[in-house]
Structure 1
Amino acid sequence: MTKIYDINVTQIDGQVKTLKDYEDKYMVIVNTASKCGLVGQLEGLEEIYKEFKDKNVAVLGFPSNQFLNQEPLDSEGIEAFCQMNYNVTFPLFEKIKVNGRDAHPLYKYLIENTDNKKIKWNFTKFIVTPHEEKIISFAPKTSPETVKKELYALIDSKIGL
């Protein structure tokens, strides 16, 4: 059976890798779009990344143009936009499809392993716990602050606080 860590992803710079590097981490996976009304969430996602990166948490951004063409930029443009406007330093990946026959295998996997039937909009968020013990999904309008609270609860329960 395929595990999430076996799935190939392409970094924004074009390098292909698997998610194996994140097997011991909490992954916050989000589909992004620069022209979406929810784009301000990038700021909160960056805050999560900065606050938790030393606590085995990785935020991973997967741009998608599947919703009303809200991500028209190419990889270079996406990276520049995210850095200039939101100081994003968390890893970004190449633009993908998140729904349908051509959906990226990562998103097919996330949909199959949660209660989601499909990704409803940009900025749908997932937390994948280390070694994939649990996958939690969050609606697009769920704030990064709510995701942060869930991360605190998950991490604290693991270390017995």
Structure 2
Amino acid sequence: MKIGSLLGALSVPFTQNSFVERPENITITATKTIYDFKMKSLDGKEVDLSIYKGKKVIILNTASKCGFTKQYADWETYYEANKDKVVVLGFPSNEFGGQEPGTDGEIAAFCKKNYGVNFPMFSKVVVKGEGKCDLYKFLTTKSLNGWNDKEPSWNFCKYVINEKGELTHFFASGVKPDSKEFMDAIK
């Protein structure tokens, strides 16, 4: 392991409860919303994200072999209790410590068997750096989303999207559905 990646991994627990909120006093100049994207589900079907219009959306970058993997259960419970007005979308990625090495089929089986995940899960994507998928380019590029440039710092970071498809918050890995800052954001 490289020294830089080791230091990055060691710092993870110290930075994973942070969040960034869209400033209220700025005029959003986003050029897109999440409704402009189509993504491939774990079972290979194209999903037009515009089907989530009118709901809040929580976007998670997930991994099956991470210390935060147990959050699948937290987010599944949250989704089941709130799916009439909030949808949770999982996007597996392998950028952080190689903690999602599986195929889409293996990821789907793992999530269902170990955590009973019913919220929509998507094909593995790149969420940071070179090769970043278009959805995560939108989430992490200020000129596209109107205010945020924060990339995921580890697995299970969260992006909150309002009912209009606009990005409103970013939460680091340690923030769970029952965290005060998350509950305040989702109101």
The alignment's TM-score, normalised by the length of structure 1, stands at 0.87
Q: Is the 8 A contact 2:150 2:170 kept in 1?
A: no
Aligned to 1:74: 103
Question: Does 1 or 2 have the higher relative contact order (CA < 8 Å, sep 6+)?
Answer: 2
RMSD over equivalenced CA pairs, Å: 1.6
Alignment match, 2:171: 138
Selected match of 1:84 from 103, 110, 113: 113
Q: Secondary structure at the match of 1:136?
A: strand
Matches within 5 A, 1:1-161: 1-54=31-84, 56-112=85-141, 113=145, 114-146=147-179, 149-150=183-184, 154=187
Q: Structure 1 stretches of 5 or more lacking a match?
A: 155-161
- How many angstroms does 1:134 deviate by? 4.7
Contact 2:62 2:155 in 1 (8 A): yes
**2: CA distance, partners of 1:137 / 1:144:** 13
Q: State the Cα distance separating 1:18 from its structure 2 match.
A: 1.9
TM-score, structure 2 normalization:
0.76
More helix by share: 1
Secondary structure class of the residue paired with 1:100: coil
Name which of structure 1's ranges 11-20 and 86-95 shifts more when overlaid on structure 2.
11-20
The answer as to whether partners of 2:139 and 2:148 remain within 8 angstroms in 1 is: no
What are the Cα deviations for residues 94-148 of structure 1, in whole angstroms up to 9, with x where unaligned?
0000011311111111112353432111000111010135521101111221276
CA offsets, 1:64-103, max 9 Å, x none?
Answer: 0111110011111101101111111101000000011311
Segments of 5+ residues of structure 2 without an aligned counterpart are 1-30
How many residues are paired up?
152
